[in-house]
Structure 1
């Protein structure tokens, strides 16, 4: 059965949160608040938090800064995953991935379908890894952030979760670096 193995020690991660929006301010960023609160409640460290406008180059630049920062293990974004002209978060994320985590979108859509039905089809939630940093792009609604964290990330970012989790493979994410 999948679940938390209490015989293993919890390993806190350094997680950065990026809200992608042309309109949100720190005082109106409910989705960013949801993620920050859940990160802290789980025992992880909120390493940084920012709001970036819906612009591929700005999103990509922020991602590259955090990917280069050794102290950032995970980046979670909220917003910009829809279908409108300003929704460009997936394009920015895809431009920096070493590998896409395709199963994340599949599981996110399954979870989302249970809550909002076929409306989940309008989301382009995505995940990947770049230079040893995990990257997750969630939709901009507080509900989508709750679903993404509560149903997927809370478990996969917990070293104690069995049968496997993202934390235990972190040391191996860059094992291809340096090979001839």
Structure 2
């Protein structure tokens, strides 16, 4: 049984940025970033920035800090670099910047992944939190993982979460 959240009383288009973290993908070959952008657009959100970055923590942090200064940007979504391989360093780059974390996001993502792929889900370091009053979501780079995170977790709660942090 899939539970759905209460509908938001006033859903609105949010300004979103997407980063694909990969040492091998390009804008032309980035299927996961394209899927993420398409799902956001179909849900009525605006993609204002898109970037493919190598899995270099300093580059990821510099991009987040730059976009963190943009008062119009509300959500930053990253895909890729969340595993445990030596080059998977997205999690390590993001964690020091987060002012608050949403532990439930990673926990639920791993639970849903476990239901699809089994025990290998434990290797995911998917994470979400808040940085510079912006929602940050970081998920694995596979298209299946992006679809799962977007459809089951991020899109159903995006407006609600943004409305909670914008009240401050």
TM interval, shorter chain, is: over 0.9
The answer as to whether partners of 1:60 and 1:95 remain within 8 angstroms in 2 is no
* Residue 167 of structure 1, aligned match among 128, 146, 162: 162
| Structure 2 counterpart of 1:141 | 142
> Whose radius of gyration is greater, 1 or 2?
1
* Residue 5 of structure 1, aligned match among 4, 7, 18: 7
- Distance (whole Å) between structure 1 residues aligned to residue 141 and residue 7 of structure 2: 32
- Distance (whole Å) between structure 2 residues aligned to residue 167 and residue 130 of structure 1: 12
| Structure 1 counterpart of 2:28 | 27
- Distance (whole Å) between structure 2 residues aligned to residue 106 and residue 28 of structure 1: 29
Using the size of structure 1 for normalisation, the TM-score is: 0.88
Q: CA deviation at 1:167?
A: 2.4
**Aligned residues, how many?**
166
| Structure 1 counterpart of 2:102 | 101
- Distance (whole Å) between structure 2 residues aligned to residue 52 and residue 169 of structure 1: 30
The answer as to whether partners of 2:16 and 2:77 remain within 8 angstroms in 1 is yes
TM-align CA RMSD: 1.3
| Structure 2 counterpart of 1:162 | none
Runs of 4+ in structure 1 off by over 2 angstroms are: 1-6
Structure 1, unpaired ranges of 5+: 159-164, 176-180
